[in-house]
Amino acid sequence: MWNAGQDLGLRPFGGRALSSLRLEKGYGSFNKDFRPDYTPGETGLDRFIDFDKPDFVGRAAVLAERSAGPKRRFVIMEVEAADADVTGYESIMHGAAAVGYVTSGAYGHCIGKSLAAGYVPTPLARDGAQFAIDILGEVCAATIRLEPLYDPNGLRLRA
């Protein structure tokens, strides 16, 4: 693959660059944003479940969540950070209450903004909803963005 990609401009890249790019597209990461302690409905990965399959491990639980709705939702937030970005496990504040936590984050180099991924209660998971995140002692405003911040229509992926 390496040799075949040389004339196409294939070159090495780092894991932090990949994390930056995935957050700009609104993609979660397994073992950071998606783990066994999050449900399919919370992560948004329930769209890949075949609910018509008669028997699979966790079917009753996933059907119950589908009926009631998930308690929390995975979201991407644009963060007004000055000198540092989130790293993970920072509290997401709504007013004076901690309502969720950051699972990952990075600076989005293509869009020029700091980004955080995390979980908030479903009723609060609205585009434009305002939160705060403490980054190294500085309280930073954070805004949920439900659409990808980079190439929201996926045109570059299809080019």
pLDDT digits (tens, 9 = 90+) for 53-83: 999 999 999 999 999 999 999 999 999 998 9
- Residue 115 sits in a domain of what CATH number? 2.40.30.110
Q: Are 32 and 104 in contact (CB under 8 A)?
A: yes
Whole-prediction pTM value? 0.89
Alpha helices in the chain (DSSP H): 2-5, 15-24, 40-43, 59-68, 155-158
> Is 65 within the bounds of a domain?
no
pLDDT band at 1 (very low <50, low <70, confident <90, very high): confident
Q: Are 108 and 115 in contact (CB under 8 A)?
A: yes
Instruction: Kindly tell me the burial class for residue 5, based on how many C-beta atoms sit within 10 Å of its own C-beta (0-12, 13-18, 19 or more).
Output: exposed
> Is 78 within the bounds of a domain?
yes
> Is 4 within the bounds of a domain?
no
Instruction: Match 């305002």 to its residue by tokens.
Output: 130
Is the model's pLDDT at 27 over the cut of 90? yes
The total domain count for the chain is 1
User: Which residue range(s) make up the domain with 91?
Assistant: 15-38+71-158
CA distance 58 to 62: 6
> Is 98 within the bounds of a domain?
yes
